[in-house]
Structure 1
Amino acid sequence: MKIFDSKINRYIFLVLVITAIILSFIFYKLTQIDKNDNLLSQLENGLTTTRYLFEEQKRYALSLSLLLSQDQELKNSFLKKDRRQSFIIVNKKINLLKKLQNSSFDVQIHNKDLTTYIRSWDFTKKDIPLESFRQGLVKVAKENKPLVSIELGKRLNIKAISPIFNNNEQIGSIEVIIGFDYLENELKQKGYETFILLENSYLNIADTLIENKKIQNYTLVNDNKNNISSLEKFNLEKLKDYGYFTSEKKAFSYFSIYSLNREKLGYIIIALSNDDNIIIDNSYEKKRVINNSGIIIE
């Protein structure tokens, strides 16, 4: 009888052990799924936030360029071709807006023949031909409509261009240039690192970025002291229009940035910690919608 009881006890013990192992495995898998879902949710939220901030900056740049294009004091100095007065007026208005709205931007005014009239950051530059490499400027001159987009020049920035009219005739245009500092700072406050990447093939135009850090076939546009080592093990050529991927310690969301002619310029990538070493590699293609603001990934 004792032998029989002993066998039953061993059987029950074995069943309990196997059940505990199965339950532990199921619990582990559910925990991993939950962690994976939580990380993916954070990445999706980060991507949505980044896109919103990006579009918000484009709208802000456009509103500033429209405001300045209709400023009568500035327009009068432009009509007189008094570059010194225009330069003083532009910087006075920039400084006022910086104080009122805590924003940072530059302004360039163009002549009707698409050459440089003045730059707010460098008075010495003038009469520089821009037509050959400034797609947005040419589009505004032809269509007489404001435009905001990501556009290559010596730098990669958000550029908003509005025509300047006098007696219903376009006499030139004004451009507001905004960098990525605001976007980067806002995302940093939310716990994200930001990497703005430009394809190296465009450095012949954006030559002020030549000395910035490189990673594979890309150049880091924002802070060139930024740590990009976390991106080095991932093949960036695999990236599509938008998506998510991870490395050992970091998780990333990204979306593409395009020129007005649908040329892929590079990517905006944000990163957060991946403490549980979760593996994600999801990339997607989406249709591009064109409007007066350039090309937006929907």
Structure 2
Amino acid sequence: MNEQNKHEKIDEKIEGYTLERQPGIEGEMDPKPIFEDDEYKGSGKLKDKVAIITGGDSGIGRAVAVAYAKEGANMVIAYLDEHDDANKTKEIVESYGVKCETYAFDVKKKAECEKLVKFTIDNFGKLNVLVNHAGVQYPTEDFLDIGEDQIRETFETNIYGIIFMSQAALPYLDKGDAIVNTTSVTAYRGSPGLIEYSATNGAITSFTRSLAGNLASKGIRVNGVAPGPIYTPLIPATFDAEKVEQHGGETPLGRRGQPSELAPSYVMLASNDSSYMTGQIIHVNGGDFMTT
């Protein structure tokens, strides 16, 4: 099976369904996203490192967790309340011989972010990589229909949580360690139906660049990944069946991406492969947004 067909095979079986919660349950999806590339072979790039991955229970977060495990990292998978997804990810991760703990929390609350980091230190004794991936999005076509509660929920989850997690983790990070933030293609091209979500990703991008400059003298790198249309639980939890079916079809590559196609970028930004990179964003979007 060639590379194009390998990642398209899941799209041939799409049937209409929606998940009426955020950020969605991977265990309820049919077909399931592709979270692991069997051709990806680890080489110890993260051996003995300890990572926290927020939103690590499913989707891109699960793919990152599995890739990190292949590279030798121990980790804490942090999530809201998707216990079955988190336990499944833990099972997969530990099959690669590393240690994984799960931790349910609310990323919007600073105290809970601090408890998550303390839990990590108590269980592993150190922290080397923070992946800020938890996020939500609520499509609203009419700008005037975006309510105050929706704005607060989106901003508090998507950007407040990243700030709180980064503040909690920083005292334990040292030279050579890394923070990797998930932003979005919407920060660059906008999205008329996801206005406040796009705004939060613009904030994440600017935060990434600013914190990178702030921490450069400490040797702590801060970078990000901006996914385009990727098949994760957030998609059927956000859009109706027709949009799920068409998701990603407008990209130059003509399809949506799979979580497994994002994971190598997160490995690079967490490892010494990116030792001369900070304040940068990697675009993985099928050509959805091209700069000159």
- Shorter chain as denominator, the TM-score bin is under 0.3
Q: What TM-score, normalized to structure 2?
A: 0.27
Q: What TM-score, normalized to structure 1?
A: 0.26
Bigger Rg over Cα:
1
